[in-house]
Homo-oligomer: A and B are copies of this chain.
């Protein structure tokens, strides 16, 4: 732990090195994210749903008829970025773009039966893999971790 005292270079390094890279939330967040993200992709396989596609499908299944703009807002991305996601979901036959009577601009995203089934299956797979990956954490730890992450999320409006 003590390394500043042995530094041969001029004393530019401050005595209070309390805020190392290892102590930054951002750095640890990134490193942890990379690990969990990789596990997710491993879980859903080579040509399975990517994380963002899974997230979109989840919201569509839970909120049938949601608009692309609304979905983008909910996911925190631009609506231009959501087009490719909706395209993929539609190409897989999991989601349909249905015109809305009142407003001819929007197209409601409706999950198909196959979409719902695929979602539930992926859900179970992801859940199992995440639980297995995080086996070294107690359920209490996971709970507080999620709570703290949600607290950070709440900062971004």
Residues of B within 8 A of A127 (CB): 19, 24
* Chain B CB within 10 Å, residue with most, of A32, A123, A154: A32
Across the interface, name the chain B residue whose C-beta is closest to A31: B153
CB pair A145 B145 closer than 8 Å: yes
Across the interface, name the chain B residue whose C-beta is closest to A148: B145
Copies of this chain, whole number? 2
A136 to B148, CA, bound (A): 10
CB pair A153 B28 closer than 8 Å: yes
Cβ of A21 under 8 Å from chain B: yes
Interface residues of A in 118-154 (CB under 8 A from B): 120, 123, 126-127, 130, 133-134, 136-137, 141-142, 144-146, 148-154
- What distance in Å separates the Cβ of A23 from its nearest Cβ neighbour in chain B? 6
Segment of A56-64, A90-98, A100-108 engaged in the interface with chain B? A56-64
CB pair A76 B31 closer than 8 Å: yes
Interface residues of A in 10-38 (CB under 8 A from B): 12-14, 19-38
Residues on A lying within 8 angstroms of B by beta carbon are 3, 7, 9, 12-14, 19-40, 51, 55, 58-59, 61-62, 64, 76, 113, 116-117, 120, 123, 126-127, 130, 133-134, 136-137, 141-142, 144-146, 148-156
